[in-house]
Structure 1
Amino acid sequence: MKSSPTRKYENFSNDHQAKDTDKYSLDSQDTASVHSNAEDGGGDRRGLTDVSAGAGDMWISAVESSILSWEEVAERLNVDIRRGLSWREANDRMNFVGPNEFQVKEQDPLWKKYIEQFQNPLILLLLGSAVVSICMRQFDDAISITVAIIIVVTVAFVQEYRSEKSLEELNKLVPPSCNWYNNTPITNKPFPPYNREFIYLFYTGTLTQNEMTVTTISTSGGHIAEVTGTGYNACGDVQLRAYKGRDLDVARMGVHSMLEVAVVCNNAVIRNDTLYGQPTEGALVACAMKNGMEDVRDQYTRLHEIPFSSETKMMVVKCAPKFSSEGKPKEEVFVKGAIEKVLPLCTRYIDSAGNYAPMTKDKQNDFLSEAYNIGRMGLRTIAMCRGESLEALTYTGVCGVCDPPRPTVRAAVATLRRAAVAVKMVTGDARPTALAVAQMVGLDVLHSQSLSGEQLDSMTDEELDRIIDTVSVFYRVTPKHKLSIVKSLQRLGNIVGMTGDGVNDGVALKRADIGIAMGRNGTDVCKEAADMILVDDDFATIIAAIEEGKCIFYNIRNFVRFQLSTSIAALSLIALATLMGIPNPLNAMQILWINIIMDGPPAQSLGVEPVDHEVVARRPRDTTRRIISRALLLNVLLAAAIIIAGTLWVFNREMSDNKITPRDTTMTFTCFVLFDMFNALSCRSQTKSVFQVGLFSNKMFLVAVTLSLVGQMLVVYFPPLQRVFQTEALTGHDLIFLVCLTSSVFIVSEVKKLIERALKKRSFGKFSTKAHDAMDFV
């Protein structure tokens, strides 16, 4: 696809007027020009009065459009790219081509989804067992198996249904809405079904509040003004500093000329204290409003635009005054952007007396020094210039835009550093601004380096890998630099999390191990590429995400530990009984009860153990280690061994007469179930005592264990269930004996944790402070 002319700044000579390069010059029509004269009437309809006539030409495939130039695509679609579509045209097109949306297949009804759960092979096997039981006239077994199947299927259905609802809620984080402009003031509305020709406006902010405010103005004549007030409104003043021998009228003219550039070379709109557009541009518009210049933009007709990009770091517009007494309006170019990009284009400047003076090398250095001093205050610097053409621009001054850090960022950065998570700041701002903001948020800029995008371009991968650990701030970077930074950190074995909000951030977000998108101000492309979305766009929310992520990992490990220990104990119990030539201590219904009813709710409740806020301070785990580690396997085998030994001992003790009675199996069965409950209690944490975690902190666990115990009591004492499970009532003495015995698995686990904590405390500080798998947030 041909490059858009909006990205070309290499040559500003008159050679651009040649026919073969005209599309790359400022005189070319541009797709990003969204503001038009209200008197222009809403667009050249160009034969669109009757859409049905030649409507077939409006169809264009993605492949075909990628081959054509942007001018040819606009011509094929019969659209004026400067004015967009009128309401009538948009409605006509929607009626012809249909809504611009995917056809979503209707979801199956709930009853059908429930029936689908019975297609599981294990469920089909159990259904077959129930049928066989009926054929053998073992109706109690058939009913029990059927009830167990219904319980399992219902639990699976509920879990799947809740997962679908959770996904639906997540989809709401990418709402189909946009800011759009079409014959009416810019508004924010749901994504229209005929949006093929609208332009989308987005803005950014992660470490900072993303609430820009112009606080300082420095004109090319050396006049300094302080701007009061915050927010996107006209509340505040532009206060000039009084200097001896300076003409305040000339100073006001200098400020006016500079703010005129800021407003005209701008796409932001403020209506009713609401910003539509980029925050930086909104801050400039608000500053002009404070200076009584709300209607400056209405005095010009925009002819062409070269929008801002992270590569060129400036925006250019060509305009003509609407009202001119000299016949043909005199066209003028307005430019704003990074001072190191804008200043070399200027051939003159407005001096302290209000006169035009030629630009010299010394004067350029003075202007750069002034911008540097403004940036050192943590302000984003934006330079302004204007002129008859890009080859003859006049420098008007620079302004400082304040974007204060979010109040919680500094504490969040400190927390991450304590957890061995290195935070690196990546910004498009100049070095002084970047370092000042980095200090505000708590990054160590005194003992680390800073790198610019230009320096990154000149480095090889090996050179970047050697120094990247010593760099805390990257400034004047582009999206391609972000990708290079992510790749370098990953080559060094780090787990990299990256935050982003722009379309161009998508590649780096996808490459990062954890891509984090902004929920409020991030683009849809950014959100789709990311692994996680910050709903409030606050960097500090990452702390909660890390806590939740680590908690999920530890809960999964606790779940696995409980399930493995219980399953190994049950299988080993049957296997040992067979190998030893003794009767099976548990019958089929009792084993089914243990596996489906008893293990299910307690195991699932371990997966919802509340977040332990201390986990964020733990070092990142080695991602090369499997979830079933040596320590976990040791705990599993230890618990299984205790359960097996205790259960076999009870079975052997009760079967002293070498005859199996319902009492023998009931004691053995209840013993195993109680072992399960105490084992689940000890599995709530791998390192902390249950009393440190809190006995009542996991209410779901309490409910699950209580219901399991109630169910076990019904099996033992309820006559109909006694016949099914072949049990008989136990005495209070029996229950006390079993509780004392089965609690041994819990006591051994607690003692083991206590010893491990003491050993870990004694060895603390003897190891390296840099984890092999340390995480880096960019």
Structure 2
Amino acid sequence: MTKNNYAVEISTRLEGLNDKEAEKLLEKFGLNEIESKKQISAFKLFLSQFNDFIIWVLIGATLLSGFMGEKADAITILIIVVMNAILGFIQEYKTEKSLEALKELAAPTAKVIRNGKIKIMKAEYLVPGDVVIFEIGDRIPADCIIIEESNLLIDESLLTGESVGVSKSSNSNNNLIYMGTTVLRGKAKAKVIDTGMNTEMGKIANMLNNIEVEKSPLKQRLASLGKILVVACIAICVVVTLLGIIRGQDKYQMFLVGVSLAVAAIPEGLPAIVTVSLALGVSGMLKRNALIRKLPAVETLGCTSVICSDKTGTLTENNMKVRKVLYNNEIYTDFSTFNNANKLLKAFTYCNDINFDFKYNKIEKCLFGDPTETALVKAFFYEKNRLINFLKDIKRVYDIPFDSTRKMMSVIVRENGKKICYVKGAPERIIERCKYILINDKIVPFEGRYRLNVLKQVDKMSSEALRCIAAAYKIDNLVNNSSIERDLIFIGVAGMIDPPRKEAFNAVQKCATAGIKVIMITGDHRNTAFAVGKELNICSSSNEVMTGSELDNLNDKELRKIVDRIRVFARVSPKHKLRIVKALKKKGYVVSMTGDGVNDAPAVKEADIGISMGISGTDVTKEASSMILLDDNFATIVSAVEEGRVIYDNIRKFIRYLLSCNLGEVLTMFLSSLFYLETPLLPIQILFVNLATDGLPALALGIDPPEDDVMVRKPREKDESIFANRLSEKIVIRGTLIGICTIFTFLVGKYYGMSIETCRTLALGTLIMSQLLHVFECRSEKCSIFQIKLFTNMYLVGAVLVSIIMLLLIIYVPFLRMVFHTVPLNIGHWLIIVFFSSVVAFANGLYIFLTHKN
């Protein structure tokens, strides 16, 4: 693919555009985005609420009723249908908006030079002429021409289908990089030449960098359950209708009863409420700095039994500070005496990928980049002018970027007319490549006491939880790339510390209480890893620590045998992460795995919950993940797990509530028909029950606050049924009792010679009030109604009050009374309703209270 003619004339300045130029170009070329399918309009979304066979039948029946003279009933039923549709529309519309907000937050970003400064901005605001900086793992956000590069390799398989990476160079015809491709190796500075639909990606009209919105497995299971319930409810409604007709009741009236009962009984909103609950949970997690990319992850989070976490920046503060330096075969803690000619300063400052901005006075504010690399520079430079003078005569010629396999980076600079290679990295990797050592500015063989002392000091610093970075250099044999990092001259080692996050200690403790194993995975030395792991109570013995080299000596079967006994993996590479995940999954654990580098993506994708870093993570890893940590904090993972458990609990709560109530309504009508009773509820009353009790209370349960034991229980099994732990038994028993109590209320009214309208009003009041009492029971599966804190969910209290007010309105407002065929009730009537609607709830609550007490 080539672009011979550029559509615009762009700036050649390496400092990029300024804001005014960018604004004009953005106005001319538009946002840098691929056109996506149009979202369904709010009006069409509202109309879709009526796209249901049962609703069509009901609308047809009510229209027929209107033509037959029952206009009040027909109008009221239609109003109720519309109100139900409005509730459904609000639920779905809120879900769509939540998902759109997530897409906005997860939009790709780019590192751009604007106004001569490096800034991170949303890729959609890129314009032709922008200068963009890329590193390994970044996704290219627009079509660009390379200005300068270092060892650049691009994955263009998304466009070409070729899995082999393509080398790119600014000094060849192969100098174009395209939107959607990925940096596999190296880094580059490039100028944007095309954006949006003008890019190669735009021409093939693929939507990239898009959050995946998958159907939740739970939602799919509930949709299947809903179909079964639909068939069962329709069958019962047909029986109720036929029994009424057999008894000689009006055929049309019984048909309307059957249809109304089907509308009220079928939990058609169950999958929708699950989606709303998941979406609201996602919003809640977002407030805790956890961005969920895939809805199914919310369910899986609650099952998490192992969290495999990176150390640096996740369990620790990612704020490195050099504490000790090994140089001239001695340990230094004061670095102010190191002069500018010191080879150690040069190695750590030149062999570095940080960016400098010297407009600030304090040296700390002048350095931007990886915390480890900035710490190495800050350790030796206390004011910016000294650093400026140190850098001014140095020209960087070539570099080999750091990667997690080699665990080192190399930079060739031109210094005083000579080419010198500086290398820094993991001590064991540097030491094994060194043939000489620099002692008092003299180069001597790196053997005997010198090598032994270096190994001893590195081991000692590591045991003190110091992260060690070694430095070396060489002057000759720089032409052949394969020999650059061979026969090096050892300079010294810096030992730095990244203290554990204060909140990480509490989060690890919370995991232990919740039955979740925490495994720390790090590239640091074994001793450093053990020291940090012990401080955080992740491990207690060195026997719980394994290195990558030890792991290499085990086959997969051997690893599976011991993997759950290891709590810290040190000196590991990304390929080790993948093996660890697979071994844990084979043993039945539900695994969460964190990652940031491009090579972490396979392990992140393999995990049940792949977690990428929002701050330090690459685009590739973010796309492979289910969740992004916006603050790179381990405590956020634990908060997300807790939120996942709460969401699942709340889904069980409203499933219990909805199905119990719907079963109670069906049994009320079925048993009355079975025992040849008069119809206890009219069609319009049945629909009113559905409107008053199914919507707001169920939604309020979906945002119920967590119970006290939510992070004390063990993780549930991943394939555990939503009806586990006798939930189906509770639904059947409570639903049956709601139906029986409603019929008994109706019979009591008949026994005392009350009018049929009064009896039906009593039954209506009992059915609604028993359901509204039951909604509080559903807040806990272990506590009684006496133990539940009533005012910890004010949304639920408000929803119940709204439902009660609606009931009172149709009983005491004359016009509504006429529409719903109710009569005013006196205190005696209400005592009957209160008794039958509460007797089961209070008896059940007393039973739970007494049994738990004993």
Shift of 1:474: 0.4
Q: Is 1:260 equivalent to 2:346 in the alignment? A: yes
Deviation of the 1:623 alpha carbon: 2.8
Over 3 Å counting, the alpha-carbon distance change for 1:693 and 1:294 in structure 2 is farther
User: Structure 1, residues 278-300: CA drift from partner, whole Å, max 9, x if none?
Assistant: 12111112223238444433322
| Equivalent residue letter for 2:826 | T
CA distance in 1, matches of 2:536, 2:390: 37
Change (3 A) 1:265 1:746: same
Aligned residue in 2 for 1:303: 397
Letter in 2 for 1:198: I
Take 2:539 and 2:344, find their aligned partners in 1: how far apart are those partners? Answer: 36
Q: Secondary structure at the match of 2:512?
A: helix
> Separation in 2 of the partners of 1:625 and 1:752?
27
| 1:597-612 correspondence runs (5 A) | 597-612=692-707
- Aligned pairs for 1:524-539 (under 5 A) are 524-539=619-634
What is the 5 A alignment of 1:621-636? Answer: 621-629=716-724, 631-636=726-731
Matched, 1:290 2:382: yes
Q: 1:313 aligns with which of 387, 407, 413?
A: 407
- The amino acid across from 1:139 in the alignment is K
User: 2:809 maps to which residue?
Assistant: 714
**What TM-score do the two structures reach when normalised by structure 2?**
0.72
Deviation (angstroms), 1:576: 1.4
2: distance between equivalents of 1:743 and 1:274? 69
- Asked if the contact 1:651/1:664 (under 8 Å) is kept, the reply is yes
One-letter identity of the residue aligned with 2:103:
N
- The aligned counterpart of 1:217 is 325
**Amino acid aligned to 1:213:** K
Alignment partner, residue 225 of structure 2: none
The one-letter amino acid paired with 1:208 is T
Deviation at 1:470, TM superposition (A): 1.2
Whether contact under 8 Å (2:354, 2:368) holds in the other structure is yes
Counterpart for residue 599 of structure 2: 504
Structure 2 residue matching 1:583: 3-state secondary structure: coil
The equivalent residue for 1:226 is: 333
Q: Over aligned residues, Cα RMSD in angstroms?
A: 3.1
| In 1: Cα distance, 2:340 partner to 2:392 partner | 20
2: CA distance, partners of 1:702 / 1:189: 44
Asked if the contact 1:181–1:187 (Cα under 8 Å) also holds between the matched residues in 2, the reply is: yes
Q: Distance in 1 between matches of 2:791 and 2:821?
A: 34
Residue 542 of structure 1 corresponds to which residue in structure 2?
A: 637
2:554 aligns with: 459
Mapped to 1, the partners of 2:768 and 2:27 lie a distance apart of 67
- The aligned runs of 1:394-433 (5 Å cut-off) are 394-433=489-528
1:375 maps to amino acid: S
Q: 1:355-394, aligned counterparts within 5 Å? A: 355-388=442-475, 389=477, 390=484, 391-394=486-489
Partners of 2:532 and 2:725 lie apart in 1 by: 45
Give the deviation of 1:641 after TM superposition. Answer: 2.7
The superposition leaves residues 642-673 of structure 1 with CA deviations (integer Å, 9 ceiling, x where unpaired) of 22222222222222388962111111111111
CA shift for structure 1 position 163: 1.8
Partners of 1:95 and 1:727 lie apart in 2 by 63
Are residue 344 (structure 1) and residue 432 (structure 2) matched?
yes
Distance 1:657 1:338, change over 3 A: closer
Query: In the alignment, does 2:4 pair up with 1:56?
Result: yes
Q: CA deviation at 1:416?
A: 0.7
Give the conservation status (yes or no) of the 8 Å contact 2:15–2:117: no
Match of 1:762 in 2: none
Counterpart contact for 1:501–1:517, Cα < 8 Å: yes
Q: Deviation at 1:446?
A: 1.1
Q: Tell me how far apart the structure 2 counterparts of residues 617 and 112 of structure 1 sit (CA, whole Å).
A: 45
The count of corresponding residues between Structure 1 and Structure 2 is 656
> d(CA) in 1 for partners of 2:27 and 2:79?
55
1:518 counterpart residue number: 613
Deviation at residue 690 of structure 1 after TM alignment: 3.8
Check if 1:160 corresponds to 2:247: no
Match for 1:484 among 563, 569, 579? 579
Mapped partners of 2:28, 2:419: distance in 1 = 40
In the TM superposition, residue 122 of structure 1 has moved relative to its aligned partner by: 4.2
Going from structure 1 to structure 2, the CA distance change for 1:133 and 1:200 (only over 3 Å counts) comes to farther
Alpha carbons 2:325, 2:332 under 8 Å: kept: yes
Aligned amino acid, residue 316 of structure 1 = S
Q: What pairs with 1:22-41 in structure 2 (closer than 5 Å)? A: none
Q: Secondary structure at the match of 1:626?
A: coil
Over 3 Å counting, the alpha-carbon distance change for 1:354 and 1:362 in structure 2 is: same
CA contact (8 A) 1:585 1:665 kept: yes
Q: Deviations over 1:174-232 (max 9, x none)?
A: 3543434699454444433457963148996200111122222111x1233225xxxxx
Q: Provide closer, same or farther for how the CA distance between residues 491 and 315 of structure 1 changes in structure 2, counting only shifts above 3 A.
A: same
The answer as to 2:531 corresponding to 1:436 is yes
Residue 317 of structure 1 aligns with an amino acid whose one-letter code is V
Q: Can you list the C-alpha shifts for 1:349-372, whole angstroms capped at 9, x where unaligned? A: 112x33211111543232121111
Cα distance change of structure 1 residues 340 and 716 upon mapping to structure 2, 3 Å threshold? same
Q: Return closer, same or farther for 1:631/1:374 CA change in 2, 3 Å cut-off.
A: same
Q: Supply the distance in 1 between the matched residues of 2:450 and 2:113 (Cα, whole angstroms).
A: 41
Amino acid at match of 1:513: D
Whether the 8 Å CA contact 2:581–2:606 is kept in 1: the answer is yes
My pick for the range that moved more, 368-377 or 358-367, is 358-367
In structure 2, do the counterparts of structure 1 residues 122 and 554 end up closer, same or farther at CA, with 3 Å as the change threshold? same
Q: Are the counterparts in 2 of residues 130 and 145 from structure 1 also a CA contact under 8 Å?
A: yes
1:13-67 CA distance string (max 9 Å, x none): xxxxxxxxxxxxxxxxxxxxxxxxxxxxxxxxxxxxxxxxx943789xxxxxxxx
Match of 1:773 in 2: none
Matched, 1:269 2:269: no
Change (3 A) 1:657 1:754: closer
Q: Secondary structure at the match of 1:102?
A: coil
Structure 2 counterpart of 1:214, which letter?
Answer: V
* 2:839 partner amino acid: S
Supply the distance in 2 between the matched residues of 1:368 and 1:133 (Cα, whole angstroms): 93
8 Å CA contact 2:15–2:116 kept in 1: the answer is no
Give the whole-Å Cα distance in 2 for the aligned partners of 1:95 and 1:288.
Answer: 47
Instruction: Give the structure 2 partner of residue 45 of structure 1.
Output: none
- Give distance in 2, aligned partners of 1:365 and 1:208: 31
Letter in 1 for 2:347: V
Shift of 1:554: 1.0
Q: Does 1:128 align with 2:60?
A: yes
Superposed displacement of residue 691, structure 1: 4.3
CA separation in 2, counterparts of 1:424 and 1:702?
42
2:371 aligned residue: 279
Aligned equivalents of 2:678, 2:448: Cα separation in 1? 100
| Structure 1 position 452, deviation (Å) | 1.4
Alpha-carbon deviation of 1:381?
A: 0.5
For 1:337, give the aligned amino acid: G
* Residue aligned with 1:198, SS: strand
User: Which structure is higher in RCO with an 8 Å CA cutoff and minimum separation 6?
Assistant: 2
Deviations 1:152-174 (A, max 9, x none): 22112222222223223323443
TM-score, length of structure 1 as denominator length: 0.78
Which sections of structure 2, spanning at least 5 residues, go unmatched?
A: 139-309, 478-483
* Counterpart residue number, 1:198: 133
- State the alpha-carbon separation in 1 of the partners of residues 75 and 26 from structure 2: 59
How far the C-alpha of 1:534 sits from its partner, in A, is 2.5
